[in-house]
């Protein structure tokens, strides 16, 4: 079921992003008087198609890994004399630039609309309060303590852990004093903390912004209370019910849910004596966790039960919401910040500050799409906006075969006063295909490594 949800979620995400991207090219091409022959979402054999009154074929193809807008162009096939004025190659260089740039700009516009909708509807979050602080870590040495609420990093206000992580990720490779403003527990005035870092997060396979500083987000305690029990699984067969509180396993006291999970995972196939509390009455039963084989070859125990949800204290719950007009500026600002962060991350990867293992391919995108869809509309729309920005930025890279490569040729044409030769463009196409193919192979490789 999870795999099916991942596939459906990624099809929805990619379908929206591809359609918006190609529609940007299509819409501006029509405005510039270019005849569009085909608008295709996906590659390969069309599964469905229709033709409009302008003679444009709209198609949905079998391979949903991209799309294209095919325009009338003398470089691809002969063009009738009476249609030469509608050919893409006959348009001015500025019109060609507008048509090519419209695709990535459409992705940025989609992100702006998505963020605007989120800001108007309201984003639910929790106060960024510090939980455990690791001894002798940068956070501990600076004096940051459990219960402090972080309000700013390097002078920039933050209201959630998401904003904190984005700000910290943008500082990969930073050396010096990382300044954090926080409100200590029980205090009414903020304090400044200076954390000494050296090449912060540089070359980490998976950047851990908070752990590297030696702190973790505060979370409410999760008691070992069963929220749901799956019929036919070990917990139900043993007689456990939703609402039962586990107090001991083999006479070892169970303090919280994580301790309970740890004991179950390492006891596959073993019969355990479980002490539980059900509506104030104590009971003991035998429970034998089933074995779940991991892809790595190991095995862990599972019983088919989930934890009872725990509510965050109302004092820590936050909602970020703006009016329709104010949300426009906030959406533009968030999109702009994410564009800058994406470009800077690419730069840092090229100079070696960010490990290439952080590249994500179709498998990871499918997993995150499914996870965000299961997490709710707010998470799904936020992920859609982030991926749309990433697609827009990547397409603007000056690599032949991408939109940015074509734009590079057109700007060279403006400087030289004449188009780049067909031979040079053909050679660039081969180089671009090799670069994009190599990048996709690397991303897929790291996807598979993450699975294993």
The CA distance from 439 to 47, in Å, is: 29
Indicate whether 258 belongs to any domain: yes
Q: Quick check: 6 and 369 in contact, CB under 8 A? A: yes
The verdict on residue 404 lying in a domain is: yes
How many domains are there within the chain? 3
Q: Are residues 393 and 251 in the same domain?
A: no
Helix (H, G, I), strand (E, B) or coil at 107: helix
Is 255 in the active site? no
For 75, 398, 425, 428, the CA distances from 421, given in Å and listed in that order, are: 12, 17, 6, 11
**Domain presence at residue 411:** yes
Distance CA 181, CA 118 (A): 27
Are residues 451 and 343 part of one domain?
A: yes
Per-residue pLDDT, 294: 60
Helices (H), 376-421: 377-395, 403-416
What is the per-residue pLDDT across 231-257, written as a single tens digit (0 to 9) for each? 889 999 999 999 999 999 998 899 888
**Catalytic one among 22, 77, 190, 422?**
22
Which of 272, 307, 342 finishes a domain?
A: 307
Return the pLDDT at 1: 46
Distance (Å, rounded) from C-alpha 262 to C-alpha 18?
A: 43
SS3 state of residue 178: strand
CB 273 within 8 A of CB 250: yes
167 in the same domain as 232: no
Tens digit of each residue's pLDDT (9 = 90 or more) over 369-424:
777 777 788 888 999 999 999 999 999 999 988 999 999 999 999 999 998 888 89
Specify the pLDDT at position 37: 94
What is the span of the domain harbouring residue 291?
226-307
Of 292, 319, 346, the last residue of a domain is 319
3 state DSSP class of 100 = helix
| Same domain, yes or no: 297 and 152 | no
CA atoms within 13 A on the CB side of 242: 8
Domain of 294, CATH number, reads 2.30.42.10
Residue 429 forms part of a structural domain: yes
pLDDT score recorded for residue 150: 95
- Pairwise CA distance, residues 5 & 189, whole Å: 47
Q: What is the model's pLDDT at position 11?
A: 80
Q: What is the pLDDT of residue 67?
A: 87
- Which of 368, 343, 375, 347 has the alpha carbon at shortest distance from 450? 368
In the block, residue with structure tokens 């564009």: 339
* Unique residue bearing structure tokens 């827009």: 392
Which pLDDT belongs to residue 207?
A: 86
* Helices and strands counted in the chain (H then E): 12, 18
99 within some domain:
no
Instruction: Check whether residue 233 and residue 371 sit in a common domain.
Output: no
Residues 425 and 328 in one domain: yes
Q: Is residue 113 located within the same domain as residue 129?
A: no
Model pTM score:
0.82
Tokens of 92: 């001015």
Q: What pLDDT, in 10s, does the model give residues 128-151?
A: 999 999 999 999 999 999 999 999
Q: Tens place of pLDDT for every residue, the chain, 452 residues? A: 456 777 787 788 888 899 999 999 999 999 999 999 999 998 888 889 999 998 999 999 888 778 899 999 988 889 899 999 999 999 999 999 999 999 999 999 999 999 999 999 999 888 999 999 999 999 999 999 999 999 999 999 999 999 999 999 999 999 999 999 999 988 889 999 999 999 999 988 788 899 999 999 998 888 889 988 988 899 999 999 999 999 999 988 998 888 899 899 888 889 999 999 999 899 999 999 988 766 455 678 889 898 888 888 888 888 889 999 999 999 999 999 999 999 999 999 888 888 887 878 777 777 777 777 777 888 889 999 999 999 999 999 999 889 999 999 999 999 999 988 888 988 988 998 898 888 888 888 877 777 66
**CA-wise closest residue to 42 among 5, 24, 69:** 69
H or E segment and range at residue 438:
helix 422-451
- Is 244 among the domain residues? yes
């Amino acid at each position: 079921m999870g795999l099916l949800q991942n596939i459906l979620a990624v099809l929805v995400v990619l379908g929206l992003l591809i359609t918006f991207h190609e529609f940007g090219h299509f819409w501006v091409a029509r405005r510039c008087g270019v005849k569009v022959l085909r608008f295709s979402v996906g590659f390969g054999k069309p599964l469905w198609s229709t033709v409009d009154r302008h003679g444009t074929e709209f198609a949905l193809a079998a391979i949903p890994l991209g799309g294209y807008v095919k325009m009338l162009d003398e470089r691809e096939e002969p063009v009738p004399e009476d249609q030469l004025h509608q050919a893409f190659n006959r348009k001015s260089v500025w019109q060609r630039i507008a048509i090519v740039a419209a695709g990535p700009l459409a992705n940025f516009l989609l992100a702006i609309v998505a963020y605007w909708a989120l800001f108007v509807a309201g984003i639910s979050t929790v106060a960024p309060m510090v939980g455990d602080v690791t001894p002798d870590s940068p956070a501990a040495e600076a004096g940051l303590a459990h219960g402090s609420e972080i309000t700013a990093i390097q002078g920039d206000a933050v209201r959630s852990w998401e904003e904190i992580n984005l700000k910290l990720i943008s500082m990969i490779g930073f050396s010096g004093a990382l300044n954090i403003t926080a409100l200590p527990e029980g205090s009414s005035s903020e304090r400044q903390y200076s954390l000494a870092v050296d090449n912060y997060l540089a070359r980490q396979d998976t950047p851990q912004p908070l752990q590297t500083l030696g702190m973790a987000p505060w979370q409410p305690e999760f008691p070992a209370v069963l929220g749901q029990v799956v019929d036919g699984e070990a917990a139900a067969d043993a007689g456990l019910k939703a609402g039962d509180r586990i107090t001991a396993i083999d006479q070892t006291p169970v303090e919280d849910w994580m301790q309970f999970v740890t004991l179950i995972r390492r006891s596959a196939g073993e019969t355990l004596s479980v002490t539980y509390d059900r509506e104030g009455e104590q009971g003991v039963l035998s429970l034998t966790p089933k074995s779940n084989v991991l892809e790595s070859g190991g095995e862990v125990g599972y019983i088919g039960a989930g934890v009872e949800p725990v509510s965050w204290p109302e004092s820590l719950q936050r909602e970020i919401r703006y009016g329709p007009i104010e949300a426009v500026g906030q959406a533009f600002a968030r999109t702009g910040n994410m564009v800058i962060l994406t470009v800077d991350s690419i730069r840092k990867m090229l100079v070696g500050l960010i490990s290439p293992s952080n590249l994500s391919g179709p498998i990871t995108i499918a997993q995150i799409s499914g996870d965000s869809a299961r997490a709710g509309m707010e998470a799904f729309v936020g992920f859609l906006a982030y991926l749309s920005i990433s697609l827009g930025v990547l397409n603007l890279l000056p690599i032949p075969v991408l939109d940015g490569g074509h734009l590079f040729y057109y700007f060279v044409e403006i400087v030289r006063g004449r188009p780049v030769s067909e031979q040079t463009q053909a050679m660039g196409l081969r180089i671009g295909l090799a670069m994009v193919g190599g990048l996709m192979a690397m991303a897929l490789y790291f996807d598979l490594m993450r699975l294993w």
